[in-house]
Structure 1
Amino acid sequence: MDRTQKEATVAALNAELQAAALIVVTEQSGMTVAEVTDLRRRMRAAGASFKVTKNTLAALALKGTQFENTEAMFKGPTAIAWSKDPVAAAKVATEYAKANDKFKVIGGGLGAQLLDTQGVEALSKLPSLDELRASLLGMIKTPATRIAGILQQPGGQVARVLAAYAKKDEAA
């Protein structure tokens, strides 16, 4: 990779990290191409991104972002995951680390806050933004269905009373 390619890579990564709410720094020694591809696919499905980078290039890309304080985590064979959703990258990385011994979560950053391994794991247990939206929508929708049911009940009761009178008149 020549200097211009490195500069372009750093600029692109910096732009993506500027927009991210969360980064997760991982160690991935000995992973096969198929495993990394599978992890990238899972990240994309969750709305996150994953990139294996050189530590020096990652440090340059972190400059000027809210995640500058994570620079010390980049030692050895590292990779970085990030997402706009403050939970997505943590969920996928933690789940994948449990299933694959070659992949470990080192730490991360949520905004300007530095996270250790336990912090990333705790964050991964929280519901994602989409899950929160769905549950909120469910809570808002439930009273509306209850109101509709209550409004329909008096009409149904009147119909049952009229039916009872009709049967009584037929019997008489």
Structure 2
Amino acid sequence: MGNAGTGARDRDRDTEGRARNARPRDGLGRPLPYGASGVERQPEGVVRTPEETVAEAQALLDAGKPFHAHEVFEDAWKSGPEAERTLWRGLAQLAVGLTHSARGNVTGGARLLRRGAGAVEEWAAGSGERSPYGMDVEGLARWARELAGRVEGGAGTVTARTEAPRLRGAR
């Protein structure tokens, strides 16, 4: 009876019965109405090598789909070694920060960009690794803080595709 009279639909479930939102989404991950055409979703729970993660996330960032890149980083964060979780979580936060900035959420975008920058720097300091899997950690942190400052400074909504970082170095 839980949804009776509310107009809410039953929760979407995957083949194993876990709750999964099946609503279509736009390129920035915003839910669209059921039946609308959206962009293809990233499958959840995919185990990739770190190199595959970086390459797939970069392709999504280049396509202006930072929300979807975040899902790729989230898979690495959840399935990778414990010692790398802060790195992958920080990269996911950078992608979500770009997502929110592109959606016009100034406060949330800037906050997540800075949080992600801090996380990747914290991981680099703790591990001693400055270029994990060829990624430019210092450059990513610099990019994130610069974008956060521009967004807060009144740059307005940013375009995800043109603001996307290069994970392995400057454009």
Same fold (TM over 0.5): no
TM-score bin, normalised by smaller chain: under 0.3
Relative contact order higher in (CA < 8 Å, ≥ 6 apart): 1
Considering fraction of residues, name the structure with more strand: 1
With normalisation by structure 1, the TM-score equals: 0.26
TM-score (norm 2): 0.26
Rg larger for:
1
- Which structure shows the higher helix fraction? 1
